[in-house]
Amino acid sequence: MLSLLEHMYHELGLVKEFNMNKVTLKRWLLCVQENYRNNPFHNFRHCFCVTQMMYGVIHKSGLLDRLSREDIAILITSCVCHDLDHPGYNNTYQINAKTELAIRYNDISPLENHHCAVAFQILSNPETNIFSNVDQVTFKRIRSGMITLILATDMARHGEILANFKDKIDTFDFTKDEHLTSVSDEIPSCRASTGSDLLQYKNNEMSNVTASSQVRYVYDMNTLIMR
């Protein structure tokens, strides 16, 4: 999975566009992997599956010809980082249990805010900063875009984001920033709608492992709710 993620950054032209150090890219991916916990569902395998889906959407939808490389970098990197250090239980649990994350982020998307924070903690280290060779203005835009997209994966916002996207479908224009924002929000948000939707795109071995893990995750969550 690490080598395939690395290939995506090369094949999409991101390594060349942002003058990424190849060794730094490897270190960053290893660090990201280390910061995913061994959860039944929200683990590094899930990170890979979501990023793989985005990679497919980019190619199948012709986004390489419609979006800037900066936008592509934001999309792919947000997918890689979107569940970093996930503790295994959702926002409802965090808020009801008054966990440290819920208290720290005032019950506002505590998990997604945490994923963002961990992502940029990793990028703040020169040894794992894949964007170390971009200027401050560009990095600020990348950071802002990643924060927007990762926060958009909070399923509490899914209905709002989907409705906003549907309103723009008939008149969608890639030259309008607000339309690009809506589609960028919706793609990563959709990935969490139903885990089963993604299974058809994976090989049988990975599908079986992911499906089994997801069933265990749902069982654990229901057990907690019933207590």
pLDDT in tens, 15-53: 999 999 999 999 999 999 999 999 999 999 999 999 999
Task: Categorize the per-residue pLDDT at 222 as very low, low, confident or very high, splitting at 50, 70 and 90.
Answer: very low
Are 180 and 71 in contact by the 8 Å Cβ rule? The answer is yes
- Residue of 7, 10, 42, 59 with catalytic role: 42
Flag whether 213 is in a domain: no
Q: Does 82 belong to an annotated binding site?
A: yes
Alpha-carbon separation of residue 110 from 1, 100, 102, 105 (angstroms): 28, 9, 5, 5
Task: Categorize the per-residue pLDDT at 187 as very low, low, confident or very high, splitting at 50, 70 and 90.
Answer: low
Q: What is the mean pLDDT of residues 107-134?
A: 99
Token pair belonging to 219: 């069982």
Q: Does 10 belong to an annotated binding site?
A: no
With 70 as the cut, is the pLDDT of residue 227 above it? no
Flag whether 206 is in a domain: no
Flag whether 32 is in a domain: yes
Angle formed at CA 87 by CA 121 and CA 25, multiple of 5 degrees? 35
What CATH number does residue 139 fall under? 1.10.1300.10
Which structural domain range is residue 46 located in?
A: 2-193
User: Catalytic site residue 179?
Assistant: no
Flag whether 201 is in a domain: no
Are 35 and 27 in contact by the 8 Å Cβ rule? The answer is no
Are 25 and 3 in contact by the 8 Å Cβ rule? The answer is no
Report the number of distinct structural domains present in the chain. Answer: 1
Q: Does 46 belong to an annotated binding site?
A: yes
Single pTM value for the model: 0.80
Q: What percent of the chain has pLDDT over 70?
A: 76
Flag whether 8 is in a domain: yes
Flag whether 214 is in a domain: no
Q: What percent of the chain has pLDDT over 90?
A: 67
Token pair belonging to 62: 């012709």
Flag whether 126 is in a domain: yes
Flag whether 86 is in a domain: yes
Q: What is the mean pLDDT of residues 208-214?
A: 50
